[in-house]
């Protein structure tokens, strides 16, 4: 937005450590005391600060801020609701919500989003299935998919410190949780023949300390190199040296129809993917021949896919090149950004 000439103000909790842009103003919300405090007090602060900016367009991502968005609309502001998760489907997998309440809450959120979506100036979605849900409810809907920038993860081969050039490795980068397949990945790397010398490099943060301790106690952890959270520069280096990227999400409702960033980031880095065999992902991976699909709940399948790529380096490189080519032609942010800019131009008039 800044490159297009807009003044941008971000009201959020986390500081902008990774963005060096003097034309972006950042207002940091205080840390919440608990979930209720976050949803109520921080939302009211966000509304107060947002209204004081007198912006031409207000753009919010978090469903908890729907009430804030409606208040801003009541004051005549142009408001965009950015739906980057299928929240009704997410609720069906929330462990902290009693199982008997999940279907009711899911229906309630789906209905609420459909009703209030018509009040907003526009709704942005990241996948076609989410877009269709809002279109059916008569909302002005724009599909802006969250693809990587072409220049951010170049298909290059720089040096890396975490593992020797002679030690092949597969990589997983992102949030670390059971639902994202961390247990299956570790079990799979244990099953890969040690003669191949393949390691599993994990970059990210564990969901909680209990899960981390449990994973560290697994036999396969001996083949794991855990590097923790890495910035985008370090991520680019990691991906450029990997023989494959793993995106082994479990078949939860919100995962099956999602388009995970990691899938496209691996493709952008020019490495083959080992991905869950969901219908949406299958269409992408098979169409471009850029990886291997597996049952995410079967470590044996994951291990066989890793082994195949380690033993067939020429085909693995071809898969990686196919993925990179698909990013350059279809799945890049440069194409999607134009849709966002066109919407903002329309709303700013």
What are the φ/ψ torsions at residue 192 (nearest 5 degrees)? -70, 135
H or E segment to which residue 25 belongs: strand 24-28
Quote the distance between the C-alpha of residue 197 and its chain's center. 30
What local confidence, expressed as pLDDT, does residue 266 receive?
96
Query: Using CA atoms, how far apart are residues 287 and 282, in angstroms rounded to an integer?
Result: 8
Could you list the pLDDT tens digit for every one of the 349 residues in the chain? Answer: 988 999 999 999 876 665 666 778 889 999 889 988 888 999 999 999 999 999 999 999 988 899 999 999 999 999 999 998 888 888 887 777 888 899 999 999 899 898 999 999 999 999 998 999 999 999 999 999 989 888 776 655 444 444 444 579 999 999 999 999 999 999 999 999 999 999 999 999 999 999 999 999 999 999 999 999 998 888 988 999 999 999 999 998 878 888 888 999 999 999 999 999 999 899 999 999 999 999 999 999 999 999 999 999 999 999 999 999 999 999 999 999 999 999 999 998 8
Q: What is the DSSP letter of 178?
A: G
CA 195 to CA 74: how far, in whole Å? 66
For the chain, the structural domain boundaries read 8-147+332-348, 169-329
Q: Which residues contact 222 (CB under 8 A, 6 or more apart)?
A: none
CA 298 to mean position of chain CA atoms? 23
Q: Is the domain covering 8-147+332-348 a CATH 3.40.50.2000 domain?
A: yes
Provide CB contacts within 8 A for 54, sequence distance 6+: none
The position carrying tokens 């291990």 is 303
pLDDT of amino acid 20:
65
pTM of the predicted model as reported, rounded to 2 decimal places: 0.81
Do 8-147+332-348 and 169-329 share a fold? yes
Question: Which residues contact residue 254 at a Cβ distance below 8 angstroms, ignoring those fewer than 6 apart?
Answer: 85, 86, 89, 90, 92, 93
Choose among 252, 251, 248, 247: nearest CA to 89: 252
pLDDT of res. 166: 57
Distances (CA, A) of 211 to 109, 296, 297: 30, 18, 18
CATH of 169-329, one of 3.90.45.10, 3.40.50.2000, 3.40.50.620, 3.40.47.10: 3.40.50.2000
Other C-beta atoms closer than 10 Å to the C-beta of 80 total 21
State the CB neighbour count (10 A cutoff) for residue 93: 15
Angle at 309 between CA 145 and CA 202, to 5 degrees: 60
Cβ neighbours for 82, distance < 8 A, ≥ 6 positions apart: 59, 60, 61, 123, 124
Beta bridge partners of 172: 202
CA distance 5 to 168: 44
Query: 3-class DSSP state for residue 4?
Result: coil
Reading phi first (left if > 0) and then psi (alpha if -120 to 50, else beta), residue 127 is in: beta
User: Which DSSP symbol is given to 249?
Assistant: -
Q: What share of the chain is helix, strand, coil (3-state, %, to 5)?
A: 50, 15, 35
CB-based contacts of 252, cutoff 8 Å, min separation 6: 89, 92, 93, 179
Output the DSSP codes for 46-97: HHHHHHHHT-SEEEE--GGGHHHHHHHHHTT-EEEEEE-S-HHHHHTT-TTS
């Amino acid at each position: 937005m800044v490159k297009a000439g807009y003044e941008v103000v971000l009201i959020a909790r986390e500081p902008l450590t990774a963005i060096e842009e003097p034309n972006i103003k950042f207002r940091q919300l205080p840390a919440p005391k608990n979930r209720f405090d976050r949803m109520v007090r921080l939302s009211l602060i966000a509304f107060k600060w947002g209204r004081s900016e007198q912006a031409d367009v207000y753009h919010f991502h978090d469903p908890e801020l729907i009430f804030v968005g409606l208040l801003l609309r009541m004051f005549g502001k142009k408001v965009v609701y950015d739906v980057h998760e299928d929240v009704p489907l997410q609720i069906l997998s929330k462990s902290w919500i009693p199982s008997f309440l999940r279907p009711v809450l899911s229906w309630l959120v789906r209905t609420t989003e459909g009703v209030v979506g018509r009040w907003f100036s526009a709704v942005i979605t990241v996948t076609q299935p989410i877009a269709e849900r809002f279109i059916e409810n008569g909302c002005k809907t724009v599909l802006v998919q969250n693809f990587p920038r072409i220049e951010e993860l170049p298909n290059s081969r720089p040096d890396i410190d975490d593992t020797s050039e002679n030690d092949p490795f597969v990589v997983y980068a992102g949030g670390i949780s059971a639902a994202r397949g961390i247990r299956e990945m570790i079990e799979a790397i244990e099953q890969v023949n040690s003669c191949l010398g393949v390691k599993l490099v994990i970059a990210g943060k564990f969901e909680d300390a209990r899960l981390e301790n449990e994973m560290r106690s697994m036999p396969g952890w001996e083949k794991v190199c855990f590097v923790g959270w890495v910035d985008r520069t370090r991520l680019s280096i990691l991906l450029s040296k990997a023989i494959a990227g793993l995106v082994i999400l479990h078949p939860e409702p919100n995962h099956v129809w999602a388009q995970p960033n990691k899938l496209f980031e691996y493709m952008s880095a020019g490495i083959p993917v080992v991905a869950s065999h969901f219908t949406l992902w299958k269409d992408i991976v098979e169409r471009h021949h850029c990886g291997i699909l597996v049952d995410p709940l079967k470590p044996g399948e994951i291990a066989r896919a890793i082994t195949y790529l380690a033993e067939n380096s020429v085909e693995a490189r071809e898969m990686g090149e196919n993925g990179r080519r698909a990013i350059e032609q279809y799945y890049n942010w440069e194409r999607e950004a134009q849709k966002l800019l066109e919407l903002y131009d329309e709303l700013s008039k």
